[in-house]
């Protein structure tokens, strides 16, 4: 007889709490809150977890809208379910955080109903500001996920098919400031040192390096300040740049190139240059084949069509978690239409009938994966070995 990967009692528990998860998703949709402003949203989720028996620390790590909830069943393995709930300016929940945040909460409620069937600790982390500075980044830096046997969340998707994981690129952001000397642009330009020209040549030098970039590298920049009037040589220019790569090792090497280009342009124009991080860097994703295989097995049992994992193109703070413990972020479709994320059309799918049904499917996947990691020692060992190999390869790239 073929082994079941999703216990029937978990499917029943997901069905039991499904209406509460729909209500949560629809409420978050109706009251979208921007990054770092998710006070109502986080409180709603904390209330549900508290009622289910979780011990909640809120705020968490000094972040007013972050939380950590734990269901402590004594000594044993540990697993983390990640919850997102911030919205986009002007678009509300057009990234689907209301829907996949509710999937995570629903999975936690289902597992809490059956805490007598596993030992160890089940954590639920409320992770604010994914759309901006990324709440998971400082959490990971401060060791929140160290020692976890698995961290998991599902991300909302479209197009009718799921994917076992979401690959992402590492990301770094700088504010690059050039400082020169102002002068009259017509009367005495020779007395000036043009900071704007230095900024422009910096971007030109990066463009000149693109010929040697690997296909995973992305670089983009905008000039935020280029002077005040055309008849004054600008003594200050400010450029915001973001660059991405497929591994943290390659990101460090690209960082050196970016800084050399800026320093070279500054030297040529007799200007000074300084670098300020725009936000803490996002890591790429350490994908764990053993976890992805297990996710596919549950998708098959649920009758969910799935496609191969796409090549990385964007970034997510889940990547930072993946450098700390085995981590997976499957994609789960809310609809058949191939709407792009961060669009009004995709936002509306989160409150559609198919979107509501998808909340149950995504939650079943999270619950099944989490229950298996907490109860199957051989699987835990397989996952850890798979993770260590994948992480070592990333660090060597």
User: What is the tens place of the pLDDT at every residue in 135-173?
Assistant: 999 999 999 999 999 999 999 999 999 999 999 999 999
6 pLDDT higher than 90: no
**Sequence-ordered alpha helix ranges (H) in 210-317:** 248-268, 289-302
Q: Mean of the pLDDT values across residues 293-304?
A: 97
5 pLDDT higher than 80: no
4 pLDDT higher than 90: no
In angstroms, the CA 203 to CA 223 distance is 10
Mean pLDDT taken over the chain: 96
- Cβ atoms of residues 111 and 364 within 8 Å: no
Q: What is the pLDDT of residue 183?
A: 96
**Coil/strand/helix, residue 157:** strand
**Coil/strand/helix, residue 273:** strand
pLDDT one-digit tens code per residue, 327-346: 999 999 999 999 999 999 99
3 pLDDT higher than 70: no
- Residue 137's H or E segment, with its range, is helix 136-141
Q: What is the pLDDT of residue 1?
A: 38
In angstroms, the CA 318 to CA 194 distance is 41
Tell me the DSSP string of 6-49: S-HHHHHHHHHHHHHHHHHHHHHHHS---TT--HHHHHHHHHHH
Q: Mean of the pLDDT values across residues 21-44?
A: 98
DSSP state of 360: H
129 pLDDT higher than 50: yes
Q: Smallest Cα–Cα separation from 316: which of 93, 165, 210?
A: 165
Q: Mean of the pLDDT values across residues 17-35?
A: 98
Residue 58, number of CB atoms within 10 A of its CB: 18
In this prediction the pTM is: 0.92
pLDDT one-digit tens code per residue, 41-62: 999 999 999 999 999 999 999 9
| Domains of the chain, each with CATH number or no CATH | 8-168+285-396 (3.40.630.10), 170-279 (3.30.70.360)
How sure is the predictor about 314, in pLDDT bands with cuts at 50, 70 and 90? confident
DSSP state of 121: E
289-302 and 377-396 helices cross at what angle (nearest 10)?
Answer: 130
Q: Mean of the pLDDT values across residues 343-364?
A: 98
Numbers of helices and strands, H then E, in the chain: 11, 14
Burial of 134 from C-beta contacts in 10 A (0-12 / 13-18 / 19+):
buried
How sure is the predictor about 397, in pLDDT bands with cuts at 50, 70 and 90? confident
């Amino acid at each position: 007889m073929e082994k079941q990967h999703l216990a029937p009692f978990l499917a029943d528990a997901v069905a039991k709490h499904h209406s509460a998860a729909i209500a949560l998703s629809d409420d978050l949709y109706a009251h979208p809150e921007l990054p770092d402003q998710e006070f109502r949203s986080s409180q709603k989720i904390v209330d549900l977890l508290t009622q289910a028996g979780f011990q909640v620390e809120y705020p968490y790590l000094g972040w007013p809208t972050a939380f950590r909830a734990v269901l402590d069943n004594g000594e044993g393995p540990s697993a983390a379910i990640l919850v997102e709930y911030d919205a986009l300016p002007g678009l509300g929940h057009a990234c689907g955080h209301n829907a996949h945040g509710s999937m995570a909460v629903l999975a936690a409620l289902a597992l809490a109903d059956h805490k007598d069937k596993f030992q160890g600790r089940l954590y639920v982390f409320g992770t604010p500001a994914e759309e901006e500075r990324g709440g998971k980044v400082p959490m990971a830096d401060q060791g929140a996920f160290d020692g976890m046997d698995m961290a998991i969340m599902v991300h909302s998707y479209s197009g009718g098919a799921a994917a076992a994981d979401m690959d992402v690129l590492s990301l770094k952001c700088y504010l690059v400031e050039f400082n020169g000397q102002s002068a009259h642009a017509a009367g005495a330009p020779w007395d000036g040192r043009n900071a704007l020209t230095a900024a422009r040549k910096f971007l030109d030098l990066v463009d000149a390096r693109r010929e040697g970039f690997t296909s995973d590298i992305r670089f983009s920049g905008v000039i935020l300040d280029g002077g005040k009037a055309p008849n004054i040589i600008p003594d200050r220019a400010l450029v915001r740049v973001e660059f991405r790569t497929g591994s943290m090792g390659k990101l460090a090497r690209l960082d050196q190139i970016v800084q050399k280009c800026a320093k070279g342009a500054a030297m040529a124009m007799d200007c000074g240059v300084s670098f300020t991080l725009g936000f803490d860097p996002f890591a790429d994703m350490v994908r764990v084949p053993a976890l992805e295989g297990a996710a596919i097995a549950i998708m098959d049992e649920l009758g969910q069509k799935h496609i191969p994992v796409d090549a990385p193109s964007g970034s997510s703070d889940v990547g930072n978690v993946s450098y700390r413990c085995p981590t997976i972020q499957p994609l789960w479709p809310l609809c058949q239409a191939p709407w792009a994320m961060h669009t009004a059309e995709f936002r509306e799918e989160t409150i559609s009938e198919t979107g509501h049904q998808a909340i149950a499917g995504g939650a079943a996947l999270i619950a099944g994966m989490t229950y298996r990691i907490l109860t199957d020692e051989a699987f835990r060992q397989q996952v850890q070995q798979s993770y260590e190999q994948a992480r070592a390869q990333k660090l060597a790239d």
